[in-house]
Structure 1
Amino acid sequence: MNPTDDRSDHRTHVIPATPAEVFAAIRDPDRIARWWGPEGFTSTIHTFEFHPGGRWLLTMNGPDGKDYPNESRFTRIETDRLFEIEHLNGHHFVLTLELRPHAAGTEAVWRQTFDTPAHYARIADFVAAANQQNLERLAAEVARVTSAQADRASSTG
């Protein structure tokens, strides 16, 4: 058993695209604003310093009309392979998104680890649903761009 399993939400989602195509939707602040957050949320990016140690400030705009300021720090970035942040305000956690080549495209491996099992247990149901929605929204954003690219290629070919 991984020593963080009792305080982490872990899930995977296969996206029919290359790791580079998936990573492109992560590294671009305009694209990440389209998919970041649970269903019904939008994100306004204020600062996006996409390098280890860089700041990421955003406001998640909820479907209830409330705004949720977020502050994170990029801790690890490996092009086309890994994205990791430490969320600094509100709920403290480390979120790692690993991209693994898969026969059907890319397996996105999402792990959100909280400081204590008690903290995680209090919000586990919400976190599980929200993280699944995040992965589905990421897949939709990747599909949106790859479909548009394919349409452009077929119209010029």
Structure 2
Amino acid sequence: MSTTDQGATPTGTADREIVISRVIDAPAELVFEAFTAVHHLSRWWGPEGFTTTTRSFEFRADGEWDFVMHGPDGTDYSEWITWTEITPPARIAFRHGESRDDPNTFETVIAFDSDGDATRVEMRTVFPTREQRDEAVEKYHAVDGGTQTLANLASYVGGLSPRE
């Protein structure tokens, strides 16, 4: 099940955020683990039809992931993430942009909540301005892309066994 919510939140960022969630049929530890190693991320990260090439990867607080997403039309998108918080297996926070010096970076928090044998993953992204959020939605199809990314994650972890 997948849901998207751009409604009001108590943080006062509703007009600048995108919230996407999905219940994944796997334990939180396994879903969280899919974020911890580049060999996992490269197999599911991104919307349908995209592939990922990693230049460097350090999964730790203040570590960075420098990568290129290759679109199905052949377009390459330089991407950069710095992890700002890692709380296994419950939460990951990061800043995301085109590069370390990108003035338009945005912040994402991913929460992993156990739901019996499943995990509810909520991805909350906050942009610096409403206009940047709107551009991400309209020009880059961020809601559809985020929904597809979580679907790819669900499919990927469905084929994993713990500590693979």
TM interval, short-chain normalised: 0.7 to 0.9
Q: Give the match for residue 152 of structure 1.
A: none
**What stretches of structure 1 of length at least 5 have no aligned partner?**
150-157
Matched ranges for 1:22-37 at <5 A: 22-37=31-46
Residue 143 (structure 2) aligns with: 128
Q: Deviations over 1:82-126 (max 9, x none)?
A: 111101326521111110011351000111111001111122241
Mapped pair 1:11 → 2:52: no
Does 1:48 find its partner at 2:57?
yes
Task: Give the number of the structure whose residues are more often helix, by fraction.
Answer: 1
Number of matched pairs: 148
Name which of structure 1's ranges 87-96 and 115-124 shifts more when overlaid on structure 2.
Answer: 87-96
Choose 117-126 or 9-18, whichever is displaced more: 117-126
2:155 aligns with 140
Deviations 1:3-46 (A, max 9, x none): 11111110210011111010111101111111111110000111
TM-score under structure 1 length normalisation = 0.88
**SS of residue in 1 equivalent to 2:42:** helix
Q: Is the 8 A contact 1:15 1:104 kept in 2?
A: no
1:88-103 equivalences under 5 Å are 88-89=97-98, 91-103=104-116
Structure of greater Rg: 1
Task: Give the Å deviation of 1:141.
Answer: 0.9
Match of 1:155 in 2: none
| Structure 2 letter corresponding to 1:24 | E
Which residue number in structure 2 is paired with residue 86 of structure 1? 95
Offset from partner CA, 1:105-152 (integer Å, 9 cap, x none):
1000111111001111122241100000110011111001139x8xxx
Which of 53, 66, 71 aligns to 2:75? It is: 66
User: Any runs of at least 4 consecutive aligned residues in structure 1 with deviations exceeding 6 A, and if so which?
Assistant: none
User: Is 1:14–1:104's contact at 8 Å kept on the other side of the alignment?
Assistant: no
Q: Distance in 1 between matches of 2:69 and 2:40?
A: 14
**1:114 maps to 2:127:** yes
